[in-house]
A and B are shown apart, each in its own frame.
Chain A
């Protein structure tokens, strides 16, 4: 935690969502460049955003605007040149690579567009991985995984291979995997892109019901306007910058 953070308030801040002591992510002036020389592309040109515990924040924008890069930088899977990112009060730039890795393992859950479930492991094994990585014993990890799978409605598919599941079921497994180690930040990259409209809505409903609580922050990068209504706030990105942050329902009412 970083109660005394000297970050300025981000645009679009919603005072209803809590005080500065409940910041989950505070990013300011983040610059990220790919390539060198003529091939150099500046994906983030000083992007800033805040996300609070207890909210589901969506980052939207056209392809190539830097949404996924921003998400990668926020969760510490990608470095950045300048700017500052604090996640639960910890400054990512001040941490070593190993510390960032450990921090991610303890505090961040991931839901990917392509699920990234290992096909040779059964559902229970896939879900128990975050706990195994943090050194929890197999029996305890599998018990916790079974409990969370029960919660997402897959209690009877523990021994199934991910290949035997539908896209929606696979994403539910991914949600269970993201939550099993009780992380405080959930990062979702296009979680409904590989799903049909009905399944996509169900997945978001599930995500809201099991992932969103006062201690946790969910950040979703998406193109899918059908799920905008689930967001507490929507950050609109364009050309490597967060142009505007909309409150609940504002963006939906304005653009959809």
Chain B
């Protein structure tokens, strides 16, 4: 009977296509928007992936990684004095203007690493060596810098130069880094050189990067450091969560994307629910005839559920496929963020499943209420 149920579904082509289109659109909208949201959220924590250390120390007022409240350099020494700290190094992190050879400006994310240890170094180098950062005026740029400079007609390569705050920066390497929330290219240099590049101010230390000693969990070390007056320490995981929640609570991003996702759900429920209801309504006479001929309610319910799940499965597949294609083909080389983790697939799949079950439930209710005797009317 289930084969015949599918034949009944495929036979009504107009409604079948309408159901597929409605659910595909719903699935596409939810998956694509949720992926862009995830991409944006991922951008907000890019620094935590680009500079990988177990414990971050910042000013006590700092709430997330993209917020910098400069500290005194002496804070590095204070952190080093905390029991359980194996080592602690300074990090400079700020947005500065780079002046290109043609005179135009490009904001860059200047990241100053401890010159001795180069802790926080880029994870993957395309060209050059990280150690060359110790050369005079040396900087390493990421792939975003290459793309951004290229848009302005400048081909950045090892040996190229540009200026930051009237200081010459010479490219000694090209790395790969996760892009930042604001999209500025990462420019790595040493901490001391970063202070030379940066406009002078009384406090210039952005973060202290900490490695706990063996046997001391990062959370325990972070808690001890936080007891120091004016400092706040986070484990990398805490800082990640804190940053995400800060953006969720303090920006309109979740509301904006949530509204579109909700719209997708409403469209899905309305289109699929109504079309499926019409489909069942038009076939009610045949269902009642089957009921009269001895079809059990569970058989009819199974037929309706199978029909709903079939259109749901196809619609979901098409929607997710389109979203993935959109992410890959349209956004790959562009600016917008796109990140499609399995959780987004599970989320949109769950919503589509809910819509299908809801639609099937309406249909089943109608069939349950139908007297088999209606076939005689």
> Which residues of A are at the interface with B, using a C-beta cutoff of 8 A?
68-69, 71-72, 75, 77-78, 98, 101-102, 104-106, 108, 110, 112-114, 116, 118-121, 125, 129-130, 132-134, 138, 189
Give every chain A residue within 8 A of B297 (Cβ-Cβ).
101
Contact B294 A77 (CB under 8 A): no
**Chain B contacts to A: CB under 8 angstroms:** 1, 3-4, 7-8, 10-12, 283, 285-286, 289-297, 299, 371-373, 375-377
What is the CA–CA distance of A68 and B297 in the complex, to the nearest angstrom? 24
Chain A residue with the shortest CB-CB distance to B285: A116
Complex Cα–Cα for A125 and B11 (A): 14
- State whether B377 touches A78 (Cβ < 8 A): no
Evaluate whether A134 and B294 lie within 8 angstroms (CB atoms) in the complex, with A110-B375, A116-B289, A120-B12 already known.
Answer: yes
CB of B290 within 8 A of CB of A129, answer yes
B371 touches A133 (CB 8 A): no
Residues in B neighbouring A132, C-beta threshold 8 A = 1, 4
B11-A119 in contact (CB<8A): yes
A90 to chain B, nearest CB (A): 14
Give the distance in Å from the alpha carbon of A98 to the alpha carbon of B297 in the complex. 9
Residue of B nearest to A105 (CB): B294
Of B10, B283, B376, B377, most A-chain CB atoms within 10 Å: B376
Query: Given A112-B375, A116-B375, does the pair A130, B293 have CB atoms closer than 8 Å?
Result: yes
In whole angstroms, how far apart are the Cα atoms of A120 and B375 in the complex? Answer: 18
Name the residue of chain A whose CB is nearest to the CB of B6.
Answer: A120
Given contacts A120-B7, A120-B12, contact A112 B296 (CB under 8 A): no
- Other 17 A-B pairs with CB < 8 A, given A104-B293, A121-B11: A68-B377, A71-B376, A77-B371, A77-B376, A78-B371, A78-B373, A101-B295, A104-B292, A105-B293, A112-B376, A116-B286, A120-B10, A120-B11, A121-B4, A125-B7, A129-B290, A133-B295
Closest approach, in angstroms, between the C-beta of B47 and any C-beta of chain A?
59
Name the B residues within 8 Å of A120 (CB-CB). 7-8, 10-12
Find A110's partner among B3, B7, B10, B293 (CB 8 Å cutoff).
B293
Given contacts A98-B296, A116-B285, contact A68 B376 (CB under 8 A): yes
Residues of B close to A118: CB separation below 8 A:
4, 8, 283, 286
How many angstroms between the C-alpha atoms of A209 and B174 in the bound complex?
91
Give 15 A-B contacts (CB < 8 Å), ordered by A residue: A77-B372, A77-B375, A101-B291, A101-B294, A101-B296, A104-B292, A104-B293, A114-B285, A118-B4, A120-B11, A121-B4, A121-B11, A129-B4, A133-B290, A189-B375
- Cα distance A102–B295 when bound, in Å? 8
Kindly list chain B residues whose C-beta atoms are within 8 Å of the C-beta of A102: 294, 296
**In whole Å, how far is B279's beta carbon from the nearest beta carbon of chain A?**
11
How far does the alpha carbon of A121 sit from the alpha carbon of B4 in the complex, in Å? Answer: 7
Complex alpha-carbon distance, A130 and B12, angstroms: 23
Q: Enumerate chain B residues within 8 angstroms of A116, measured Cβ to Cβ.
A: 285-286, 289, 375
What residue of chain A has the Cβ atom nearest to residue B296's Cβ?
A101
A75 to B292, CA, bound (A): 9
CB-defined contacts of B371 to chain A, threshold 8 Å:
77-78
